[in-house]
A = this chain, B = another copy of it.
Amino acid sequence: MRCDGRSNDQLRQARIIPGYLKFPLGSALIETGNTTVICSACVEERVPPFLKGTGQGWISAEYGMIPGATPERNQREASRGKQSGRTMEIQRLIGRGLRAVVDLNALGERTIWVDCDVIQADGGTRTASITGAFVALAQALNRLRAEGVLPKLPVTDFVAAVSVGEVGSELMLDLCYEEDSRAEVDMNVVMTGSKKLVEVQATGEGGPFSREEFLQLLALAEKGIAELIQLQRSVLGPVGAEISANTWK
Shortest Cβ distance from A209 into B: residue = B197
**What is the 8 Å Cβ interface bit string for chain A, positions 65-104, against chain B (1 contact, 0 not)?**
0111111110011111111111111011000100111000
When the two chains form their complex, are residues B211 and A204 in contact, meaning their CB atoms are under 8 A apart? no
Give the distance to chain B from A64, nearest Cβ to Cβ, in Å: 6
**A149 — which chain B residues lie within 8 A by C-beta?**
none
Say yes or no: B205 contacts A99, CB within 8 Å: yes
A42 / chain B contacts, CB cutoff of 8 Å? 67-68, 72-73
Q: Is the Cβ of B38 less than 8 Å from the Cβ of A119?
A: yes
Asked if A196 is at the interface of the complex by the 8 Å CB criterion, the answer is: yes
- Across the interface, A77 reaches (CB within 8 A) one of B24, B39, B78, B113, namely B78
In the bound complex, do residue B218 and residue A196 qualify as a contact, i.e. CB atoms below 8 Å apart?
no
Is A13 engaged at the interface, CB distance under 8 Å to the other chain? no
> Contact mask A198-209 → B, CB, 8 Å, 1/0?
111111110111
Contacts A68-B23, A99-B205, A113-B67 given; does A76 touch B88 at CB 8 Å = no
Instruction: List chain A positions with a Cβ less than 8 A from chain B.
Output: 21-24, 27, 34, 38-40, 42, 44, 62, 64, 66-73, 76-89, 91-92, 96, 99-101, 113, 115, 117, 119-122, 157, 191-192, 194, 196-205, 207-211, 214-215, 218
Pairs across A and B, CB under 8 Å, 15 listed: A42-B72, A62-B76, A66-B115, A68-B117, A78-B82, A84-B88, A85-B85, A96-B203, A100-B207, A100-B208, A196-B204, A196-B208, A199-B201, A199-B202, A201-B201
